[in-house]
Amino acid sequence: MHELWELFYTFAVVGITTFGGGYAMLPALQREVVEKRGWATDEEVMDWYAIGQCTPGVIAVNTATFVGQKRRGTLGGIVATLGIVFPSLVIITIIAAFIQGFADLPAVRNAFGGIRACVCVLILNAVVKLWKKSVVDWKTLLIFAAVFFGSVFWNLSPVLYVLAAAAAGAAIRGWEARAA
DSSP 32: I
Residue 54, pLDDT above cutoff 80: no
- The whole model's pTM is what? 0.61
What are the tens digits of pLDDT across the range 108-164?
A: 888 888 888 888 887 888 788 888 888 989 999 999 999 999 999 998 888 889 889
> Distance between CA atoms of 40 and 120, rounded to whole angstroms?
26
> Distance between CA atoms of 179 and 37, rounded to whole angstroms?
40
3-state helix, strand, coil in the chain (%, to 5): 85, 0, 15
What are the tens digits of pLDDT across the range 63-120?
A: 889 999 999 999 999 999 999 989 888 888 888 887 777 777 888 888 888 888 888 8
